[in-house]
Structure 1
């Protein structure tokens, strides 16, 4: 992929009002939500753009924004993390407000009926779409994908630019002969097939497969991935049998999981991967997103300052681990690094670190952060896989990805009692040491196994290959 990832679609303002409830209102059988906290975040195409940027991608968001208070809030949240190329949204900014307690929604209020109307989009939008290396269309039925200029620019994309289209029943059909992958959920696939004249009844895999094949044939799309919630996603790509990417069990708030799926899939296609790998990665990302409570995590991270990129904490339960440990009077230990190719030296240090306290949190450099430190050929292993391997170790309680050049901003939130580094840092400055000590923590160096390093492993592998 040579150009940026361009996300095109409608942006909404999502606001969760989160509190606790232990009694009913005296004048109506409805819960009283107390100690409420507001958690705003971009929804729709805005969420998809943030999730893509979280992986270190250069992302441009093409959307329509209104000049009202919700629109200005959205722009302020988005521009910290992605480039925004916006044209005018007619009417009020769409807003979804959920009142939540005990992990459940109590009520939802929708406001703002703004729509994108035909008219000039400006040179910034035209430049963004024509220069895209890959495109994710996130349609929420508010008119961005109906806009004639936007559709014309999409139709003129070079054949090699992968386009993923996340549809909406109230939205527009995909631009002909452009889309590589369509990503409806079960309900959307049923409505889209019915609107297209197909009489396909039933539920489950069989019905999803028939609807996916119909939409692929009718709209001339290589692949249609029907997302099935907890069952994963079914890819219909013209093969005799569809490909099922099963989901790992995940319980939590599913708001935003579809955006996470589409963002994961388009990035695989942007890197030249096949449709099956794109769908499998999308399912994995969506499962992690739900499991980590990442909708709330995104809102919390947007409220933070001092980080240039949003990185969803895949180990969002790291904060639960820390809270439980502190509540029990225990000691929180943390360490950090790239952990690119996990080797015996890493394992030895993690084992020693875990013995210093009651939980071990590993702070992992994001892919973009590793590239800045190690060069363009690194990392060998992407961040998601590094986290998965680390969290499989019995000595690691949770892992958290960070995108800054040092872990100091993350440690400002984590506030470990002990911060561990390897003895190879002896005599070297540690920029994060001041942050750790400012909150009463201490920095310690642990011995390393001699001769074990990722760099050495890679050079040995190259020597054997040659």
Structure 2
């Protein structure tokens, strides 16, 4: 699928350091620089994310001829650059951080831009696209009539997702727009927050812009989709991601929903995939993942759980894990999980896969597939992550997670458990928590059978 990203190319710089003292002449922190990282920003980040996902990507943009612009092409990886000339300076956004805590952001070149050049090659790239993602960062490129006409024509043939900017151009008709809540307030002229406001703003923008669909992203509350003025909106809830660096979240969302639409998914299904992809991106570390080699693909729940473990461990916290089939979650499970979570700073549940449950419990089990069991556990406030394992025992999964504490509920002698021996390999401990008699999946299933 030939994917074309159209928009403003920026340079993002992260300066990391340590602050341990103030200057002698004013109460100003002194940052001892440890590392500086450069990254393609704006439309460049969208294109880089798509290319990293394995897509054939071209970036249609305007490139300055200053010294900062020379840094950008090498940062684009496998992205084909189709540039016109920009008479304005390259916009540079520098984040100064200490121990991952932002201190200040410094912007350069963000004054009023001059009209950029649009070349025949840029228009041809849009005309040949099978999917278009517009990343407008308010630098004037999307105000150019020839480029707007090309994008509007493309929207009659292929999915076009337009991520608007408060200082940018009005989206052309027929596209899917993806503003966040703050942008929706500015574009619609309405005030409010939360789902009721998002729906009202989506209806306003749908009418004002003639969009194919409006998707308003709501941060930790997920995203709301409107495809028509009639019927009900669809809201996709976002999985909880703690302590995330949200830089680049909007770019990840726009790229993910565009790919889903390009693959033929209905808007409602594309919305849910994009929300999940954005949460996974943030759980993995956000834009920081672009600095590392691509990881071996993992199921999304496993990936999110291991990201939680790394964050807690990096902060010096205690990682707790427990395991089981959790075929029908009952009060005994809830009490055990709560007791386990109280022992540390995160709780990871190691969950038997469907095949593992069948071998342990018989061919009639599990009663619920592992996807549903994972979703139910993940929805519990005391559970920070779920890792599914296929073996008969969780020993290998424990080695992957390396918890500080392994918890079993019941009348076990912890020293007789195979898990107790493996956790000692890195100095961890196996413990038991109180057993709550009378609660079991078998008894609950039998009770349901009697009344069904």
TM-score (norm 1): 0.64
For the residue of structure 2 that corresponds to 1:16, the secondary structure is strand
Is residue 170 from structure 1 mapped to residue 167 from structure 2 by the alignment? yes
Aligned residue pairs, count: 330
Equivalent-residue separation in structure 2 for 1:320 and 1:53 (angstroms): 26
- Counterparts in 2 of 1:406-417, with a 5 A limit? none
Distance apart, 1:127 and its partner CA: 2.0
| Shift of residue 27, structure 1, vs aligned partner | 2.4
Aligned residue among 89, 93, 110 for 1:92: 89
1:108 to 99, 105, 108: 105
Which has the bigger relative contact order, CA under 8 A and spacing at least 6?
1
Q: Which of 179, 186, 193 is 2:188 aligned to?
A: 193
The aligned residue for residue 60 of structure 1 is: 58
Deviations along 1:241-294, whole A, 9 cap, x unmatched? 211111111131100000000000000000011111121122112211222212
Distance 1:13 1:212 in 2: 31
Structure 1 position 28, deviation (Å): 2.4
Aligned ranges 1:27-426 → 2 under 5 Å: 27-78=25-76, 80-113=77-110, 115=113, 117=115, 119-123=117-121, 125-157=122-154, 159-176=156-173, 178-179=174-175, 181-194=176-189, 200-238=190-228, 239-251=230-242, 252-298=244-290, 300-301=291-292, 315=303, 391-393=387-389, 395-396=396-397
Q: Higher Cα Rg: structure 1 or 2?
A: 2
Contact 1:164–1:266 (Cα < 8 Å) also in 2: yes
Report deviation, 1:217: 1.2
Contact kept in structure 2, 1:292 and 1:317, CA below 8 Å: no
CA change 1:217–1:120 in 2 (3 A) is closer
Cα deviation, 1:353-409, whole Å, max 9, x if unaligned, reads xxxxxxxxxxxxxxxxxxxxxxxxxxxxxxxxxxx999433644799xxxxxxxxxx
TM-score (norm 2): 0.66
State the alpha-carbon separation in 2 of the partners of residues 41 and 15 from structure 1: 6
Any idea what SS the aligned residue of 1:76 has? helix
User: Structure 1 pair 19/236, CA: closer, same or farther in 2 (3 Å)?
Assistant: same
Does the C-alpha gap of structure 1 residues 113 and 287 become closer, same or farther in structure 2, counting only changes over 3 Å? same
Q: What residue number does 1:6 align with?
A: 4
Please say if residues 84 and 117 of structure 2, whose CA atoms lie closer than 8 Å, have aligned partners that are also in contact: no
Q: CA deviation at 1:344?
A: 5.8
Cα shift at 1:30: 2.7
In 2, the alpha carbon distance for the partners of 1:396 and 1:8 equals 43
Deviation at 1:320, TM superposition (A): 9.2
**Unaligned ranges ≥5, structure 2:** 317-352, 360-377, 379-384, 401-452
Match of 2:362 in 1: none
- Tell me, yes or no, if the aligned pair for 2:283 and 2:308 is still in contact at 8 Å: no
Cα displacement (A) at 1:118: 5.1
Q: Which residue of 1 aligns with 2:345?
A: none
Residues 87 and 122 in structure 1, CA contact (< 8 A), matched pair in contact too: no
Structure 1 unaligned spans of 5+? 195-199, 328-341, 349-387, 400-466
Aligned-pair CA distance for 1:83? 0.8
1:10–1:317 CA distance, 2 compared to 1 (3 A):
farther
Aligned mates of 2:297, 2:48 — CA distance in 1: 9
